[in-house]
């Protein structure tokens, strides 16, 4: 799968979980600092990525991911 496709699907998941317009989400956006994700939403995001890409992510490492870009790279390791 192309990195650009992963990135765009990651943004869609983030948009859904955080109830945001995808256009507001930049590649460098930090989940907490820029997007305001709280701890519950962070867990929901990881579950959302697993469902979207049909993979099982390492939970601890997934929760350490800070930005949209990092999330796309992390997911790419599994797909």
Partner 1 sequence: METLFHPKSVAVVGTNKVKGTVPHDILDNILKTDFEGVVYPVSPREKSIKGIKAYKYVVDVPDDIDLAILVFPSSVCHMALEQCGQKGIKAAIIISAGYKEVGEAGLAREKQLIEIARKYNMSFIGPNCLGVINTDSRINLNASFAREMPETGNIGFLSQSGALCTAVLDYAIAKHIGFSKFISFGNKADISEIDLLYYLMEDEATKVILMYLEEVSDGRALMQAARDVIEKSGKPVLVIKSGRTDEGASAAASHTGSLTGKDEICDAAFEQAGIIRCNNLEEMFNKAIAFAYQPPPVAEKVAIITNAGGPGVLTTDAAISNGLRLARFSEETTKILKSALPATANINNPVDVIGDARADRYTAAIQAAFEDDDVDGVFVILTPQSMTDIDTIATEVTKIAEGQTKPIYASFMGARDVASGVNILQKHKIPHYTLPESMCISFRTVHHFHSSLKQKRAGVPTMDRIQAELAKGLMDKALSNGREYIPEVETIEILKAYGLPAPQGKLATSVEEAVEVAEQIGYPVVMKVVSDQIIHKSEVKGVELSIKSAEDVKAAYQRIHENATARMPEATIKGIYVIKMISGSEEIILGIKRDPSFGPVLMFGLGGIFVEVFKDVSFGVAPLTLEEAHDMIKKTRAYKILKGIRGLAPRDIDAIAEALLRLGQLALDYPQIEELDINPMFVLDEGQGSVIGDARMILNKTL
Which sequence positions are flagged as catalytic? 38
3 state DSSP class of 66: coil
**Nearest approach, Cβ of 45 to partner 1 (angstroms)?**
14
Place of tokens 């995001």: 45
**Nearest approach, Cβ of 24 to partner 1 (angstroms)?**
10
Supply φ then ψ for residue 32, to 5 degrees: -90, -55
Residues forming contacts to partner 1 in the complex (CB under 8 A) are 18, 20, 30, 32-36, 38, 66
Cα distance from N-terminal residue to C-terminal residue, the chain = 7
**Nearest approach, Cβ of 56 to partner 1 (angstroms)?**
24
């Amino acid at each position: 799968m192309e990195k650009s496709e992963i990135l765009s699907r990651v943004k869609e998941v983030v948009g859904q979980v955080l109830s945001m317009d995808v256009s507001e989400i930049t590649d460098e956006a930090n989940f907490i600092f820029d997007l305001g994700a709280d701890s519950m939403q962070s867990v929901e995001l990881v579950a959302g990525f697993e469902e979207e890409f049909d993979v099982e992510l390492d939970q601890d490492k997934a929760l350490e991911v800070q930005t949209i870009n990092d999330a796309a790279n992390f997911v790419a390791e599994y797909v």
